[in-house]
Structures are given as structure tokens and as C-alpha cells.
Chain A
């Protein structure tokens, strides 16, 4: 039965295509785009199939590599949560890579082969991080994805290599801290398997190594997730990287790191143990709350669309971490739902900014005007959908994750965090509606401009419109059929809920 092999097949697909693309690229360079689509397409299909299979049977697949049962061997744990995240990241990567066809001709013309190879490696790392059930294996996949993202961010504008270098320094320190934390846990438990370690932790929980390990791991993964105040690398990296890189890394990379944080806090340690020595969830919640406000306020101050979106990412990752820190069922639903919603919204917004850079040569908010609605009617419609969803208006997807997060804060009686969620929705409205206003509401002198016959419809081509349209419709569908998704998330709860 191939169903039980799916967790191993997804990363293997990416390894295969990472080898295939340079080989075929030497012969025909144009084919690299098609091959990368084929690779992510197969992975998306496999993860959709696996997810469907998992919902039907309700059984977690534990895939043992080489037949060695854990804790001796390495295993991939394909449970509902992992299957869900894998499906989300592969589908987003597929759509973003469709969009990259035109951008690749302009932003990295001679580097297509290298670019698509590295993007396959990036997806290999992300999928491995989500699927693996072994802490050291997780570190290796973390570094694979990080090294690929340094390379992808380095391809871009003139300043891109320097921002990638800064990310490399900070990211490697984060990875090393995580590894040090794993070492601490290994010395007290003698195992690296997450499920095995979860069973052993109650016996050693008071030990000083365990609490140091928890802090080191949370800080290390927090760097990758751009959790405030460890977000310093993020705005520059996303702004100066090529549009496709930021659309690929922004929705997926920080989400996967937040997912790892969720695994560590709620699955490895569990709700009972994580607060045993120090109120970690309260501290995480406080940083998440500050991060949400800080990211939103900084986003308002930006005049460049990509930089605004980068700061908005800092704020949105705060929502997910806030959901984790609540450590109750509503918070969990909100966090997992927000991983899906934010991946869709942020990918769509970065794709719009990429399209604008291609068509207009810039993505400066100050230069947006109402001629855009005539020039790019559908792109702007997609942008508005995503923006409204970010603000959190029903029936779009963004409302529901915020709704569950708000319910979670009420259940924990954390009124301050509830206030943070509400205020930040207002701030989101401020920084998105000023753009929507520029596009759709006009001032008197610009009224003549819109009547100007010289403004032609200059809509982006099909390869760029298709992924944006799919994501915009996806946002609406996720919002409308949100109850079905939440029902599935109910089956993913960690023990102790």
C-alpha cells in the first residue's frame, strides 16, 4: 500500500528533482521551470493524497527509515497536523513557482537553473522539518532549508547579498543554539526521538539541563520564526530578495519554524510540563503580543510595499505564537488555522508586489494611484481580497483565525492579549486601507486621470494571474468552509487538551 510510504516519498521527490533540474538544465535551460513545477506538483499531489488517506483512516503513519524502529532509528511521523502543514506548504510553493515564470526572466535571467535547484532543496528542508520525528534530524533539515534560503535571498537586488549574509550569521547562531538545546536534552534523557523523549521528560523535568534546553531551543527556533525580538534579519532579507524568493520564503519559512515551536512546546514538553520551571507560555505570549503591535506599527511607517509586508509578517507570526502560548484548544485551532490563512494571504500579497515590480518597475506605495485599478483590475482585486482578509473581515479566512485566537484569550482570561488582537486588527486596517484608498477612492484631479483614454488595461499574464486568482478564491473558500477545516483541526490536538 503506497499510502504508508507517502511521508518518505514527499522529500524523496524533492531530492530527485533537485538532481534532475541541473542535469536537464544543462541540456535545455527553459525546462527547469517546468521541472520545478512538476516536482512541487507531485509533492502537492502526494501530500493531498496522504492527507485524504489520513482523514479517512484516522491513523498516524510512522515511517521507520531502513526498518529501524525508534528510538534506534529515525522516523517520520505523519500525523494530522504534519499532513496538514505539508499540504499547505507544498501547495503554496507550487502556486508561487507558477508565478515565477515571468519574474525569473527579469530578476535572475542567467540563474534559473541554480534558482530552481535551490528552491527544490528549500522545500526538501521544510518538508523534512515538518515530517521528522527526531530532534537531530530536525536540525539537519533546518540547516538544509536555512542554507537554501540564504542562497535564495542572496539572489536579488544590489543589497541582497549583504542582507542574506546578516541572515546567515543570525540564522546559524539560532541553529547552533537549537543544537545545543538538543544536546542538553540528550544528556538527561538519552534519546532523540520526540515521542520517546516526551515519555521520559516527566522523570527529569526538574533538572536544570531540561529548562536550559527548553530556553535554548525556543530561542534557536524563535530566530528562524522571526519571533520578536529576534526578527532583526527579516525585513531587509524579504525586501531586497527577488520577488519569488520572498513569496516562497515569507509564507512558508517562518510558518514552518512556528510549527516547530508548536511541536516543542505542546507536543515534546506538553501543556503540563512546559510551565513547570518557568512561565514559558506567559513569556512567549508577552513577546508575541509586543511583536504583533511592533510589526503593525512599523508596517504603517513603511512606504515600500515589500518592506511593509515584511514587517506585517513579523506581526502575523506573533499571532501564531500567541495561539501556541495560550496552550488551550481555541489557541491551538487559531494558531494552526492562522498558519494556513497567513500562508495564503502573505503569498498572495508578495505575488502582487512581485507583479507590480515587474509591470511598473517598483512597488512604492506612494506611487500607487487610481490608474492602477484600470491597468490591473484583477491584480488589484486579488490584493484587496488579501488585504481585507488580513484585516480580518468575515467571510474571508483571516477573520476566523483571529476569532479563535480571541476566544482562546477569553478562555485564559488574558484580557491584555485580547486587546492586542483587537488593536492590531485596527492597525492592519490602517496600513492596508491607505493603499486600497489610493487605488479605488480618487481625489478630484486624479478623477480626470482615470477618464484618460491612454490608460490601457495592462493586466498581468495568465501564468501570474492564475496563482493569484487561486489564492484569492482559496481565501474566500477557506473562510466559508472554515467549519470543516476546524473539524479536521480538532483531530490534531496534542495530548492534555
Chain B
């Protein structure tokens, strides 16, 4: 049982991050905290991809003079990392749009608390 947890600890970490992010988005009343939850959720996905690329005993994907390239197990998979660079950029853009919307909401209603906001809307 312990091995099951320890052997998959990267995945448990991902699950915890995803759950934390969802918790923030669903239950926090402050809209900024919701965005923080969103960021944590995205970070969970990003870390999942990064941890998938890990190989035991492998080195960075740069050709070393004594390690033949044909032996793929010598090198880590670089593709998930490069994908995640794009995903991080997407995450930053999402944050930017989210904060722009928040500024707009604050200017119109003067609050970022969800309950007060819903009261003011109705």
C-alpha cells in the first residue's frame, strides 16, 4: 500500500493541486481567490506533463559525447516540456484577461465579493 502511494507520488501531488484549485474556484467567495484557484489548477496540469517526461537515470535531451542518441533511454523526453512552455503562456494570457475583467467588474460594482456582487446585480 505504501509503495502504491510512494511509487506514484508525482501523480498524488498533481491530484492534490487539481483538488486545491477546484476548491478555490468553487468555494472561495472572493473573485481574486477564484483566479488563484484557477492558476493552481493549471499548474497542476503543467506539473503533470513535466513529471511524465521524467525517466530514471536519463539526462537532459542534449547530445552528450559518450551517450549514443540511438539509446533513447539515455535522454529525457523534451516534448512535454516544450508543450508546457506554450501552456504556461496560455495560462498567463488567461490571467491577463481575467484581471482585465475583474478591473471592469470592480469599476462597475465596487466589490469583488461574489455574494455582494450577486446582491447588487439583483
Contacts and interface: CB of A to CB of B under 8 A. Distances in A.
Interface of A: 136, 139-140, 143, 147, 150-151, 154, 158-159, 161-162, 164-165, 168-169, 172-173, 175-176, 179-180, 183, 186-187
Interface string B13-43: 0000000001001000001001000100110
Query: Which of A136, A172, A186 has the largest count of B CB atoms less than 10 A from its CB?
Result: A172
A164 B52 CA distance: 34
A179 B108 contact: no
Given A136-B83, A165-B31, A176-B45, A147 B101 contact: no
Contact of A168 (B48, B87, B94, B108): B94
B64 interface: no
Contact of A162 (B22, B98, B100, B117): B117
A136 B49 CA distance: 12
Nearest to B103: A161
Contact of B97 (A150, A158, A159): A150
Interface string B81-122: 001001100100110011011101100110000000100010
Given A150-B101, A165-B101, A173 B38 contact: yes
Contact of B25 (A139, A147, A159, A169): A169
Contacts, number: 66
Given A165-B101, A179-B87, A187 B121 contact: no
Nearest to A72: B79
A173 B41 contact: yes
Nearest to B52: A187
Contact of A161 (B22, B48, B80, B104): B104
A198 B114 CA distance: 44
A161 B105 contact: yes
Contacts of B52: 183, 186-187
B15 to A, nearest CB: 11
A300 to B, nearest CB: 23
Contact of A183 (B41, B48, B109): B48
B98 A176 contact: no
B86 A140 contact: yes
A139 B105 CA distance: 28
B99 to A, nearest CB: 10
Contact of A169 (B34, B45, B100, B109): B34
A154 B94 contact: no
A147 B97 contact: yes
B108 A158 contact: yes
Nearest to B83: A136
Nearest to A183: B49
Nearest to A136: B83
23 contacts: A136-B83, A143-B90, A143-B94, A147-B93, A147-B97, A150-B101, A151-B100, A154-B101, A154-B104, A161-B105, A162-B117, A165-B105, A169-B25, A172-B41, A172-B42, A173-B22, A175-B90, A179-B87, A180-B45, A180-B48, A183-B45, A183-B49, A186-B80
B97 A143 contact: no
A147 B48 contact: no
B38 A165 contact: no
A176 B42 contact: yes
A151 to B, nearest CB: 6
Contacts of B22: 173
B105 A169 contact: no
A136 B82 CA distance: 11
B17 to A, nearest CB: 11
Nearest to B104: A161
Contacts of A151: 97, 100
Contacts of A161: 101, 104-105, 108
A162 B102 CA distance: 8
Interface string B34-77: 10001001100100110010000000000000000000000000
